[in-house]
Amino acid sequence: MAQRPIIWALGIAGSAALSAVVYGDRLARLVGVEDAPSAASMTTGERSAPLRTDQAKAVAARPSEPPTLTVAADYRGHYVVHPSIDNLRIQMLVDTGASVVALTAKDARALGIQPSRADYKMTLSTANGTVKGARVNLREVRLGSILVRNVEAVVLPEGALSMSLLGTSFLGKLRGYEVQTGRMVLRG
């Protein structure tokens, strides 16, 4: 057995997979879940609950339900998201203390936004002091199934920001958002 570690490892992996299939519903009942979660899990209202496929279709068909997105904090406690801005995906840090969406010069260039030197008129106070930014308007920002149109933003000069910020000019247009034990819930 020790001479064939690959066969030994495959045997253990196969046993684990078989146990999961055989005892999965018992484990689900032990932890208090009626039906084991499936690919058709959806967020409904304030609580997340696993739904059967027919239930998922019924909830998705209700137009009154606002789209909801849950974002887990990274190891530093930051909420990093990847929204599409005018159909280009950009990495951003959710910053509830930032009054506007702030774009790095690099991200702005990728979006085709190239303000002239004269456009940098807006004075902003940051953790590193004051900086001049160029005010712009983003046609649409999509985060998961949440879509916000006409979002005020500012482009900061090269080196002023290491990552673009998703500020309250976006967050304020949502129905709400909250932070709960290492996760942020955004309601579109």
Tell me the pLDDT tens digit for each residue of 54-110.
Answer: 444 444 545 568 899 999 999 999 999 999 998 899 999 999 999 999 999 999 999
User: What does each C-alpha distance from 40 to 53, 81, 97 come to in angstroms?
Assistant: 6, 22, 35
- Pull the structure tokens for residue 94: 């959710």
Q: Buried b / exposed e across 9-36, counting CB within 10 Å, b at 16+? A: eeeeeeeeeeeeeeeeeeeeeeeeeeee
Contacts of 170-173 with C-beta under 8 Å, sequence gap 24+, read 170/101, 170/141, 171/94, 171/96, 173/148
Q: Are residues 88 and 107 in contact, defined by beta-carbon separation less than 8 angstroms?
A: no
Per-residue pLDDT at 170 exceeds 80: yes
Q: What pLDDT, on the 0 to 100 scale, is given for residue 4? A: 65
Strand partners, 136: 153
The larger pLDDT score, comparing residue 51 to residue 167, is at 167
What percent helix, strand, coil does the chain show, rounded to 5?
25, 35, 35
Q: Are residues 78 and 72 in contact, defined by beta-carbon separation less than 8 angstroms?
A: no
| Phi (first) and psi of residue 117, to 5 degrees | -55, -35
Ordered domains of the chain (ranges, CATH):
5-61 (no CATH), 68-187 (2.40.70.10)
Q: What pLDDT, on the 0 to 100 scale, is given for residue 18? A: 44
Amino acid residing at 62: R
Tell me the pLDDT tens digit for each residue of 113-152.
Answer: 999 999 999 999 887 789 999 999 999 999 999 999 999 9
Per-residue pLDDT at 27 exceeds 50: no
